[in-house]
Amino acid sequence: MTQVRRVDLAATSDLEAEIQNLCTNMAAGGYRLASSFVYQTQLVLIFQKE
């Protein structure tokens, strides 16, 4: 099971907090961060079911 999320780097006010919150929510759902990359102005985060 894989979930993909996109963070708009140009729109976020606190990137560190946003990533932490996102990872906390995904962890509550049983997902851990497996990979991430930046494409243009978008941070793409790939989560996989633990």
Partner 1 sequence: MRIAIEMRSVLLSLGAAWLAVMLAGCSTQGYSVIAATGTTIGVGISQNPTSGVVDATLGYKRAELAFVPTNRNGGKKAGDHFEGARDSANVIMELQYRGIFSFSADSGIYQRLAVGDIAVAQPGAAIIFAKGPDGKIDSQALKALQAVKGISPVDESIEKEKAKLSKKYLEYKQQNNAAELQKFDTAAKVAGYDSFESFSVSLTVTAEKIKLIREKLKEAGIQLEN
CB of 6 to partner 1, least distance (A): 4
Say if residues 46 and 4 touch (Cβ distance below 8 Å): yes
Which residues, numbered 9-48, are part of the site for partner 1 (CB under 8 A)?
Answer: 9-14, 17-18, 20-22, 24-31, 39-42, 44
Which residues are within 8 A (CB) of 9 and not within 5 positions of it... i.e. 6 or more apart? Answer: 15, 38, 41, 42, 43
Of the pair 27, 34, the CB lying nearest partner 1 is at 27
* C-alpha distance across the termini of the chain, in Å: 9
Instruction: Point out which residues bind partner 1 (CB under 8 A).
Output: 3-14, 17-18, 20-22, 24-31, 39-42, 44
